[in-house]
Amino acid sequence: MPVESVTMPELRKLIDSALGYVLIDVREQRELVHGVIPTAKHIPLPELTTALEMPAEDFEKKYGFKKPGKKDNLVFYCRTGGRSHTAAMIAKQKGFNAKNFVGGIYEWSAIDPRVKKY
């Protein structure tokens, strides 16, 4: 099942326009100290399958944001694009509209001083 990619200009446009999307960081909690892309929510990759299967109320209680719907535009990212590709595949297999920001933190760090390459 192929996964669509999102480029940095496309992601910047989504963030700047605040169009309907949910940006999800799938890195481990300990990696978040290096910075987070603005508007991102956090679900570590090992928890993603369970998270997407949770009832909406439980999801919101655990992750602190409304559970995305199947039609929502989900964009996943990680450090360099590998884990987020896996995340997008998992979400697609569960019927979600999911894409991968392949540049990850590595690429984003070039334009955002709050995000450090590591």
pLDDT of residue 18: 78
pLDDT of residue 10: 94
- Residue 78 falls in the annotated catalytic set: yes
Residues of the chain with pLDDT under 70: none
Residues of the domain holding 103: 22-108
pTM of the predicted structure, to 2 decimals:
0.96
Which of the residues 14, 36, 40, 78 is marked catalytic? 78
pLDDT of residue 20: 83
pLDDT of residue 19: 77
Residue 11 in any domain: the answer is: no
> What string of DSSP letters covers the chain?
---EEE-HHHHHHHHHHT-S-EEEE-S-GGGGGG---TT-EE--GGGHHHHHHS-HHHHHHHHSSPPPPTTSEEEEE-SSSHHHHHHHHHHHHTT-EEEEETTHHHHHTTT-TTS---
pLDDT of residue 2: 87
Q: What does the pLDDT look like over 42-68, one tens digit per residue?
A: 999 999 999 999 999 999 999 999 999
Residue 116 in any domain: the answer is: no
How many structural domains does the chain have?
Answer: 1
Residue 35 in any domain: the answer is: yes
